Amino acid sequence: MKRQRWPLLSVLAFGYAFLYVPILLLILYSFNESRLVTVWSGFSTKWYGELFRNTQLLDAAWLSVRIAATNATFAVVLGTLAANAMVRHRHFRGRTGFELLITAPLVMPDVIIGLSLLLLFVAMQQGIGWPDGRGFTTITIAHITFSMAYVAVIVRARLLQLDRSLEEAAMDLGARPLTVYLRITLPLIAPALLAGWLLAFTLSLDDLVIASFVAGPGSTTLPMVIYSSVRLGVSPQINALATIIVAIVTLAVLIAALALRGERARR
């Protein structure tokens, strides 16, 4: 058996190279002196300097971070409720419809979600006068709608493998369900909530298509700035920005992984 593993391992190595070489090249060329992204002419950090002087980009980044944080917080609440519904109330009328609604945003093409929400917001503004104009609120609502599905998947997996005996013990001692949920269940699923929050945050920070549909004039998010710059060709500033994003995301994933792992070790 051992002898035959090398073809498999070479495919694995090729796969990881395929996944990581583009990102590594992106990072490498962010430190390139030359404006030509593909010609190496010496080490420099000047693009980072330019990046931090680009106020249009910084404003967009700040807006994106605010949207992402608001989105993640709401998505964790709604996603956790949905996970509770699916795991703790196994049988209810309309369960199949509920599951369809929760799973659909995971695979639904962005252009459909973006277009349909924009048309809803326009119709609502005509009908009831809210939301008044489009921007922070509409983008956040759109992001919550698809992020909560991802949170529900993560929290649901955690709830399914949860040992119920602690909750049952608390119930037997007369604790009310809400108390049991807040004092016992929530701390036990906290790592999943953190992972869900971080995932919702990065999904929101990353979204171009949906935000482009539901944004109004004056609410340009970071991916929209990146997109309009990238359409004109490669730019070392975008490489520098990409490097910063990769660094932040790697940190976030490490925190989430350590949280989930520490939890696993404690049990």
Q: Count the residues of the shown chain that bind other proteins, applying the rule CB under 8 A.
A: 89
**Least Cβ distance, residue 193 to other proteins (angstroms):** 15
With the C-alpha atoms ordered 243, 245, 246, 250, is the resulting torsion angle positive or negative?
positive
Interaction of residue 32 with other proteins, rule CB under 8 A? no
Q: Of 128, 163, 173, 231, which one interacts with other proteins (CB under 8 A)?
A: 231
Q: Of 2, 43, 55, 126, which one interacts with other proteins (CB under 8 A)?
A: 126
Here the tokens at position 111 are 């252009």
Interaction of residue 1 with other proteins, rule CB under 8 A? yes
Interaction of residue 263 with other proteins, rule CB under 8 A? no
Distance (Å, rounded) from C-alpha 54 to C-alpha 109? Answer: 32
Interaction of residue 162 with other proteins, rule CB under 8 A? no
Q: Of 45, 46, 119, 187, which one interacts with other proteins (CB under 8 A)?
A: 119
Which residue stretch of 45-53, 162-170, 184-192, 246-254 sits at the interface with other proteins (rule: CB under 8 A)?
246-254
Q: Of 49, 53, 62, 112, which one interacts with other proteins (CB under 8 A)?
A: 112
Given the complex with other proteins, which of 25 and 190 has the nearer CB atom?
A: 25
**Least Cβ distance, residue 15 to other proteins (angstroms):** 4
Distance (Å, rounded) from C-alpha 243 to C-alpha 38? Answer: 16
Q: Strand, coil or helix: what is 267? A: coil
Which residue stretch of 16-24, 51-59, 162-170, 186-194 sits at the interface with other proteins (rule: CB under 8 A)?
16-24
Here the tokens at position 83 are 């996970």
Here the tokens at position 55 are 């106020």
CB atoms within 10 A of CB 88: 11
With the C-alpha atoms ordered 225, 231, 234, 235, is the resulting torsion angle positive or negative?
negative
Residues 6+ apart with CB under 8 A from 76: 151, 193, 196, 197, 200
Do residues 138 and 171 make contact, with C-beta atoms less than 8 angstroms apart? no
Considering only residues 46 to 85 of the shown chain, the ones binding other proteins according to CB under 8 A are 78-79, 81-82, 84-85
Q: Strand, coil or helix: what is 32? A: strand
**Least Cβ distance, residue 46 to other proteins (angstroms):** 18
Q: Of 51, 68, 144, 193, which one interacts with other proteins (CB under 8 A)?
A: 144
**Buried b or exposed e, range 117-153, using 16+ CB within 10 angstroms:** bbeebeeeeeeeeebeebbbbbbbbbbbbbbbbbbbb
Q: Of 71, 140, 145, 220, which one interacts with other proteins (CB under 8 A)?
A: 145
Considering only residues 82 to 111 of the shown chain, the ones binding other proteins according to CB under 8 A are 82, 84-85, 88-89, 92, 94, 98-111
Do residues 144 and 75 make contact, with C-beta atoms less than 8 angstroms apart? yes
Distance (Å, rounded) from C-alpha 67 to C-alpha 166? Answer: 37
**Least Cβ distance, residue 191 to other proteins (angstroms):** 15
Considering only residues 164 to 223 of the shown chain, the ones binding other proteins according to CB under 8 A are 176-178, 199, 202, 205-206, 208-209, 212-213, 223
**Least Cβ distance, residue 55 to other proteins (angstroms):** 21
